[in-house]
Structure 1
Amino acid sequence: MAFETFAVHAACIRGVEAIHVTVEVSLAGGVPGIQMLGIPSMEVMESRGRIRCAMRSAGFEIPRSGITVNLAPGDIRKTGSGFDLPIAIAVLAADGQIPRDNLDRCLIAGELGLDGTVLPVKGEVAFQLLARDMGLSFIAGRSDQHVPLAGVDCGFIDHLSQLARGMGDAVRHYLDSEGVEATFEPELDYADVLGQEVAKRGMALAAAGELGLLMIGSPGSGKTMLARRMTGILPELSVEDQQEALCIHSVLGENIDGLLAGHRPFRSPHHSISTAGLIGGGRPVHPGEISLAHGGVLFLDELAEFPTGVLQTLRQPIERGYVRIVRVDGAFTFPSRFQLLAASNPCPCGFLGDREVPCRCSASMVERYRSKLRGPLADRIDMMIDVTRPDPQVIIEGAEGMSSAELRDYVVRGRAFRAWRESRMDDADAEAEDDETRSIDGVVSTFELDDAAEKCVLGLSKRTHLTGRGIVRLVRIARTIADVAESEQVTQDHVLEAAMYQGRRDQ
């Protein structure tokens, strides 16, 4: 006897999360065809043709009655091609062509080929997380980018015809070894960057203190080489951050081999990128580059070439660690905690201050160019370092410098000491470390400067006309240097070294 109605669990991606959707199917008299309810998008509507062809190719009969498909809840727009498989299963179960056993214990997502092949869909990690929260198994097409998550029973179906034997016999389960090993090129090592030891230490300090850093130097000085190696000195991702990063990359269909291998993401968008491409947006709303960099590094090369309006949108995400996008159909929140790196030439021609190539720019051209670097992101960049082209003799001799392993030790040690130090503070003092409106007395007490360091900060602020933000930036760098040295107090030496990393900045 055929079942006239049936429902299965499915989901759709909304932002970077999977939202539970119940696929309800009713077979009733009337004109044969499939009617879709529940605000389906155009791609969901197109599933009607794929489902009919796939069912016929798999040897099933298409019900001759009218088929009504309701995607509940009805107030959320349904997008994606992942509804093909759950709708087909619900139709076949309602028509009595396949057993219903175990179907109510599965979250199903998959796209159907016209020949009945079941294909994977974007957002597998998000679907798995939803299935785990609901206590369900996750069933989809087989994916080469499968991510094994703890507490989730995952299986796959290769072809719709397998369902004739029932869900229990149709599903193939991933082996324990599948999806764990990822082939990914090894991370680059700072040992390969010769003649840039001061810049390397600056990179390590920025990583240890989670400070924004801008490198200024002529073409060929090694700015990009330094930036691309930053992920190799950052501590390992926490399980939560790795899971969030995997979810974001999975939703967008990005390669996740690097994340599975334990590497942090590195994103370097071109300066022609749009606001939606950088922070997220579009229709449907999707994460941008800053969310793809979550847990890793966002590198803005040729910073002065980015449109001011695009850079302006970065201020709040950097400050809050997430970006919130509001549209007519709701609000979307994407995580965006990343290490900010930027690079720029010192002038339009790129050779101002170069030891070999003379600068061809006029004073007014240089001033206009530098004014772009004093734009919307200036308050979010704590450190500026000048990167000069290394001495050719150093490169020829191949002198060894600090490796990524050595620099990572600095970073891990500095972060561990900071965590220990902050554990001794009350919540107000810990939050005050990021407050740029603190008075000098508040800065001294919060960052624990000794008397000599305090006098040094006051002297530097008068000579260089530091603003309140400039003082906090200087002391924050000095505090990071002290943390790396495992010193409870910031000393004069720490402040003087911090002043080296203020760079060419209008104080």
Structure 2
Amino acid sequence: MVAQIKTVSFQGLDVQTVDVQVLMTSGLPKVTIVGLPERAVGESKERVRGALASLGLMQPPAHVSINLAPADPAKEGTHFHLPIVLGLLVEMEVLPPDCLDGLLAMGELGLDGSISPVVGALPAAIHANRLGLSLICPQAQGQEAALAGPGLDIIAPKSLLALMNHLMGRQQIPRPKVSSLDSTQRPPALDLRDIKGQETAKRALEITAAGGHNLLLIGPPGAGKSMLAARLAGLLPPMTAEEALSVTMVHSLAGTLAEDGLVSSRPYRDPHHSASLPALVGGGTKAKPGEVTLAHLGVLFLDELPEFDRRTLEALRQPIETGAVTVSRANAHITYPAHFQLIAAMNPCRCGYLADPGRACSRAPKCGQDYQARISGPLYDRIDLVLEVPAVAALDLGLEPSGEASATVAERVLRARERQARRFETQHSQTLLDKPPVNASLEGDRLEAHCALDPDGRRLVAEAAEQLNLSARGYHRLLRVARTIADLDEQDEIRRLHIAEALSFRRLALA
């Protein structure tokens, strides 16, 4: 008789069911695993032997065949250990033959019989719930799996012994409690009032947050570019339950989840400029998600933008434009979501003091031209707002903080987002790859329909398109930013004033 239990394999965010079949026959003592197992799966032989020994059980001197079906694609991950040992225990007649019916199992085995966390518990739980199966997962990931829904039966043991006792009816493992998906409470965030001066930059942050736009800050060292970027997350609306679940799924596959299993605040990622192409956009031998995916529905801050490798920067063009990134390998093409808001910062030149009245750049203007030329035209064209951030005078640093608090600005941002959500006729994205309901996602007929201009506004746009030589992409981004400014002003029609303010944040990008 063949013992059989289900588990999963992952191709990006796609989850596929895998049948683990275990057969023990007479013959030379040997364990054979077929079905395109990779190295971590092959190592399960020794882990299973050690786990059984910790329970006082010896693997029988027989030929053990383990089939992972379907044979294609390749099977990766240490989560195959647990279903393999469960199938073997049934073949050894330690567990009853029907105890594995309706179960989907995943977990990494230790030599002492412990069950350790693995990547992808939440996607696997959602998959099991969809199929009407019960899930066996490590105890440390029980809360994460419980996010899949209250109707999912979850068994989250700490050790193989506890799981065996549960399956044989000797003890009951309680269902893990789920973390609340209610994200109405805003997490603590840095406050805009802490930044002295820079009122224009604060306004740019408000527009960026309200419309889901991208922003480039150009200024000398110490001007406060990084401080401004760090405060954007505090202006963004709290995530909905659906958004929190989708972000948690991404981090579950990446193995970056906290112990409580829920990402309740918007991600903020700030990779160093030495980050490689696979680290930023995803890739490697196993096509893992990169920083653009880990920043999904959050903020990606790239400081010292020209210092990034040129190929790495050019790879950002696809996720900025489409909100997704495709990692191609010889045997697979994997698409990850990447709906992030890009906040980039750079110095105006190599030394950082171009046009600074206090410290003259010795190689101006060529120093600035060469340095800024590291950012290609197509990448510039994908940035909605570009702003010069001047240095703050030393005397101003001694003044009391002024301006609005982040909470006040966030209220206006939330009202503008609600107007946009009604425009999209939804409050959230339907799938992981759907674009969020923000003005930055407007395109095609929807862009034209919702960007009605008054006569003065139309004339100004026509003049700007001619004088600034606007590309089609630049023209559309101008309209989107103006639409956001009008939303903050609670106006249905885009007026000349809104166009003028949007143009003030586009001139550098078109120079």
Same fold (TM over 0.5): yes
The 5 Å alignment of 1:377-416 reads 377-416=379-418
What are the within-5 Å matches in structure 2 for residues 282-293 of structure 1? 282-293=284-295
CA–CA separation in structure 2 for the residues paired with 1:187 and 1:434: 32
- The one-character-per-residue Cα deviations of 1:80-136 (angstroms, maximum 9, x if unpaired) are 111111111110112211234542122111111111111121221122111111111
Deviates further, 157-166 or 479-488:
157-166
Q: What is the identity percentage for the equivalent residue pairs of Structure 1 and Structure 2?
A: 36
Aligned residues: 493
Structure 1 residues 163 and 203: CA distance shift in structure 2, 3 A: closer
Q: Assess, with a 3 A threshold, how the Cα gap between structure 1 residues 398 and 57 changes in structure 2: closer, same or farther.
A: same
Give the alignment partner of residue 38 of structure 1, picking from 35, 38, 57. 35
Distance in 1 separating the partners of 2:221 and 2:440: 39
Question: How far 1:21 sits from its partner (Å)?
Answer: 0.9
3-state DSSP class of the match of 1:226? helix
| 1:106-185 matched pairs, under 5 angstroms | 106-143=103-140, 146-147=143-144, 148-149=146-147, 150-151=149-150, 152-167=152-167, 168-169=169-170, 172-176=173-177
* Alpha-carbon distance change, 250 to 274 in structure 1, aligned in 2, over 3 angstroms: same
Alignment partners' CA distance in 2, 1:473 and 1:177: 41
Counterpart residue number, 2:300: 298
Within-5 A mapping of 1:277-426: 277-421=279-423
User: Do the aligned partners of residues 446 and 176 (structure 1) sit closer, same or farther apart at CA in structure 2, a change above 3 Å counting?
Assistant: closer
CA distance in 1, matches of 2:259, 2:398: 35
Matching residue of 2:199: 197
How far apart, CA to CA, are the structure 1 residues paired with 2:404 and 2:298?
21
Q: Tell me if 1:88 matches 2:85.
A: yes
Partner of 1:484: 488
Aligned-partner residue type, residue 336 of structure 2: F
Residue by residue over 1:245-274, the C-alpha shift from the partner in whole angstroms, topping out at 9 and shown as x without a partner, is 111211221134798362101111222222
Distance 1:144 1:386 in 2: 46
Instruction: Give how far 1:240 is off.
Output: 3.1
Alignment map for 1:57-96 (pairs within 5 Å): 57-96=54-93
Matched letter for residue 81 of structure 1: T
Aligned-partner SS, 1:298: strand
Q: Any idea what SS the aligned residue of 1:255 has?
A: coil
Corresponding residue for residue 271 of structure 1: 273
Distance 1:250 1:25, change over 3 A: same
What is the alpha-carbon distance in structure 1 between the residues aligned to residue 378 and residue 142 of structure 2?
38
Work out whether residues 280 and 286 of structure 1, in 8 Å CA contact, stay in contact via their aligned partners in 2. yes
Change (3 A) 1:432 1:88: closer
Which residue does the alignment assign to 1:427? none
Residue number in structure 2 paired with 1:27:
24
Structure 2 CA distance, aligned partners of 1:192 and 1:451? 40
Check the 8 A contact 1:279/1:314 in 2, yes or no: yes
Residue 499 (1) aligns with residue 511 (2):
no
Structure 2 CA distance for aligned equivalents of residues 188 and 257 of structure 1: 24
Letter in 2 for 1:252: A
Alpha-carbon distance in 2 for matches of 1:273, 1:100: 51
* CA drift at 1:26: 0.5
Inter-partner Cα distance in structure 2 for 1:134 and 1:382: 43
TM-fit CA distance, 1:161: 2.3
Structure-2 change in CA distance of 1:282 and 1:177 (3 Å): closer
Decide whether the 8 Å contact of 1:268 with 1:301 is kept in 2.
Answer: yes
Residues 258-299 of structure 1, C-alpha deviations (whole Å, 9 max, x = no match): 983621011112222222222211122211111111111111
State whether residues 107 and 138 of structure 2, in contact with CA within 8 Å, keep that contact through their aligned partners in structure 1.
yes
> What is the identity, as a one-letter code, of the residue corresponding to 2:338?
S
Q: 1:478·1:497 contact (CA, 8 Å) conserved in 2? A: yes
1:205-264 Cα offsets, whole Å, 9 max, x none, are 012122211010111111111112212211222333322211121122113479836210
* C-alpha contact 1:447 1:475 (8 A) present in aligned 2: yes
Instruction: Pick closer, same or farther for the CA change 1:142–1:413 going to 2, 3 Å.
Output: same
Give the CA deviation at 1:186: 2.8
Cα 1:52/1:243, change in 2 over 3 Å: same
Which residue of the partner structure matches residue 216 of structure 2?
Answer: 214
State the secondary structure of the residue aligned to 2:139.
coil
* Residue matched to 1:7: 4
8 Å contact kept, 1:197–1:402: no
Give the Cα–Cα distance (whole angstroms) in 2 for the partners of residues 362 and 317 of structure 1.
34
SS in 2 for 1:334: strand
Instruction: State the alpha-carbon separation in 1 of the partners of residues 209 and 290 from structure 2.
Output: 23
1:441-452 correspondence runs (5 A): 447-452=451-456
What one-letter code is carried by the residue in structure 2 that aligns with 1:176?
K
Contact 2:193 2:401 in 1 (8 A): no
Which ranges in structure 2 are unaligned for 5 or more consecutive residues?
A: 427-438
Q: Which amino acid aligns with 1:289?
A: E
TM-score w.r.t. length of structure 2: 0.89
Paired with 1:240 and 1:250, the residues of 2 have a C-alpha distance of 15
After superposing the two structures, state which structure 1 stretch, 301-310 or 398-407, moved more: 398-407
| Distance (whole Å) between structure 1 residues aligned to residue 49 and residue 424 of structure 2 | 62
Decide whether aligned partners of structure 1 residues 422 and 43 sit closer, same or farther in structure 2, where only a CA change above 3 A counts.
closer
- Which residue, 164, 187, 190 being the options, matches 2:189? 187
Q: Cα 1:99–1:189, aligned 2, differ >3 Å: closer, same or farther?
A: farther
> Under a length normalisation based on structure 1, what TM-score does the superposition of the two structures give?
0.89
Rounded Cα–Cα distance in structure 2 between residues aligned with 1:24 and 1:432: 46
